[in-house]
Chain A
Amino acid sequence: MEAVLALTVAIFFAVAIYLMLSKHIIRILLGVTIFGNAVNLTIFTSGRVVREVPPIIPEGMDVPASLTANPLPQALILTAIVISFSFFAFLLVLAFRTYQELGTDDTDGMRVAEPKGEELPPLGY
């Protein structure tokens, strides 16, 4: 099971990095989402994958009787999903506004803040 998940994670990371290397903001954003999901799957895989053993302690015992599924990764992933989803929503709006205002989603063309051919500071006075 871990091997399959590890392979999936690897594919996700590869796709994400490929997309993030693009010059176009929208592809970068798609890459960032897939990147986030790759990480979530990594957390899931790191927290030992056990099927169908709920982490419930039987009556009269202090600790679980056997190895159970680990509930913590799900809490971590849930937090990470909420964060990455809200960031993605914000970034989409930001990218759309930037596209509307600057007329491009090509990072090479986005030179408003750092204009090309800016004059050098004066050498003396």
Chain B
Amino acid sequence: MAVPGSEALDLSRAMVLAAAGPADWLVIAPVAIPIVFGALLLIFRHETKIQAGAAIAGLILALIANVFLLSRVLDQGPVVMTMGRWLPPFGISFTADVLGASFALTATLVALVCAVYSTSDIGTIGRRYGFYPFLMLMMAGVSGSFLTGDIFNLYVWFEVFLISSFGLLVLGSEHRQLDGATKYAILNLIGTTFFLTATALLYGAFGTLNMADIARKADHVREAAPLMTLAVFFLLAFGMKAAAFPVNFWLPASYHTPRIVTAALFGGVLTKVGVYALLRVLVMLFPPERTILSGVIAWVAAATMVLGVLGALAQTDVRRVLGFVVISGVGIMLAGLALGTDEGLAGTILYAFHSMIVMAALYLLAGTMNGLGGSYSLRTLSGLYAAHPLIAALALLLMLAAAGLPPASGLWPKVMLVRASLDAGQGWLALAVLATGFLTTLALGRVFILTIWRQREAAGPVENASPMLGYVTMGAFALAVLFMGLYPQPVIDIAERAAGGILDSAPYIGAVFPEGVRP
């Protein structure tokens, strides 16, 4: 490239000149692997026999990449890879810190187990219409959201997983699916457009979209720019995505309509992306604004958790009960965001790990119960204990986990959140968390009693589906739940380090801008 006069230019001031080391490629591997597999599966979508196996293989690869990424981030702090060789803030930086990497790992794990279950739930028609490509592209979008360090790029990843989720949601084209998908699609699109509005205003105020750059410039810009407005916009947009009251009505309208494995994926993974974005933006980028908003967030959190679980109490369809339990879990996570302390945020993050696994497992449980009992309705589904004692054991453990009772995983994040609320002098928030736990026990306990203990009255027609895959996948989730319940310290450590990483953003900024934390 002998351009006249180019010798005088010092390119190292503007561009990354060294090639990225092999270890740095780990940052994009959790995104790149699902995209490659998604594209290949899209090409071979008529080869319905290889679809499931290839998708599972792809997710295993992505899971391995995620494990290595998380262990590297835990060892060496945030890992950065900047695209297109332009130095940040011009090139888009993928920045993996403990928060992003651990969320991506948990989400990929949930997707892998759901993909295994889907081999029985998704038939030839579903495969032909592209269930597995949509699944892979959705996971690419979700992992991209967790790992990107650029706020406009975050918007793009939101749209990637959103459009894939539309595809998954309407797969089958039943009337109720079309009804649910219309509401889900329109309200979520409005939510992400709010996100884009906030991003536009943020760009106007900061002149940059790189999160690390925003974090280090915020103190200088705060005097002149309406950062409070921005924070409120982001709270609304991500609150909508996370299904926080009062902008959560798309969730109960749609999550019970698709195939059960799709519902498991959505209930497990998608709302947590909203929670992640709230943590990233409000805690890391706008901490003073979050402090001012903490009263509002606390009320939103309490309303979301209590109204969510009250909704669960009023439902007859098991899937709709679970939809409302997802919502009340989001409220519990927002409680930690409202507190904003070390322990509160660690509780939120730990609850997010727990909730991804347990909610997906509960939806798979509902699917397996439907396979055995032939119904999702609490009025007709009954007598499972007599015929299938193993499902009763799994159901008991998973419901204890969701309610936050020992020996399962839901206990510890709630302990942390309650203690953090009491330490912050917010006794009523602690009370709301505890009351929600009690009401969740009631709602899920009733599901357990009616479907499992109640005698089957009339021997109705029962589908002769083999519950083996359900047992295997729920068993895998149950092991994770038991591990997090009985030996929580390693996971609590990760959650605490993730919380520390967003409360003190210096290492994050230092990883993106090695030359200095101050602009």
Contact = CB atoms under 8 A, between A and B. Distances in A.
Interface of A: 20, 25, 28-29, 32, 35-36, 38-39, 42-43, 45-47, 59-60, 62, 73, 76, 79-80, 83-84, 86-87, 90-91, 94-95, 97-98, 101-102, 107, 110-114, 118-122, 125
B254 A113 contact: yes
Given A87-B159, A90-B163, A43 B203 contact: yes
B193 A97 contact: no
B378 A122 contact: yes
6 contacts: A43-B199, A79-B152, A112-B176, A114-B252, A119-B379, A125-B449
Nearest to A90: B166
B5 A47 contact: no
B316 A121 contact: yes
Contacts of B168: none
Given A84-B193, A102-B179, A121-B315, A46 B159 contact: no
A76 B152 contact: yes
B505 interface: no
Contacts of A28: 186
Given A91-B189, A110-B179, A119-B316, A125 B201 contact: no
A86 B163 contact: yes
Nearest to A73: B203
Contacts of B177: 113
A83 B159 contact: yes
Nearest to A93: B170
A53 B176 CA distance: 54
Interface in B250-277: 252-254, 256-257
Contact of A94 (B159, B178, B199, B204): B178
B450 A112 contact: no
B36 to A, nearest CB: 21
B173 A32 contact: no
Interface of B: 5, 9-10, 13, 152, 156, 159, 163, 166, 170, 173, 175-183, 185-186, 189-190, 193, 196-197, 199-201, 203-205, 252-254, 256-257, 314-316, 378-379, 382, 446, 449-450, 454-455
Q: Which of A25, A29, A91 has the most chain B CB atoms closer than 10 A to its own CB?
A: A91
Contacts of A121: 314-316, 378-379, 446, 450
A111 B175 CA distance: 10
B185 A91 contact: yes
A113 B176 contact: yes
A36 B176 contact: no
Contacts of A97: 173, 178
Given A113-B183, A121-B450, 5 more contacts: A43-B200, A83-B159, A86-B163, A111-B179, A119-B379
A35 B190 contact: yes
A121 to B, nearest CB: 4
Contacts of A113: 176-177, 179-180, 183, 253-254, 256-257
Nearest to B256: A113
Which 9 pairs between the two chains have the least Cβ-Cβ distance?
Answer: A46-B204, A43-B200, A42-B200, A113-B179, A113-B176, A112-B179, A113-B180, A121-B378, A98-B178
B204 A45 contact: yes
A110 B175 CA distance: 10
Contact of B186 (A80, A91, A122): A91
A97 B177 CA distance: 11
A60 B454 CA distance: 84
B190 to A, nearest CB: 6
Contacts of B13: 62
Contact of B189 (A32, A73, A98): A32
Contact of A62 (B9, B182, B254): B9
A111 B176 CA distance: 8
Given A91-B189, A98-B178, A120 B200 contact: no
A122 B5 contact: no
Contacts of A47: 203-204
Given A46-B201, A76-B152, A119-B379, A94 B190 contact: no
B170 A20 contact: no
A58 B101 CA distance: 43
Contact of B185 (A79, A90, A101, A118): A90
Contacts of A94: 166, 170, 178, 181-182, 185
Given A113-B254, A121-B315, A46 B203 contact: yes
Contact of B316 (A59, A91, A110, A120): A120
A80 B449 CA distance: 50
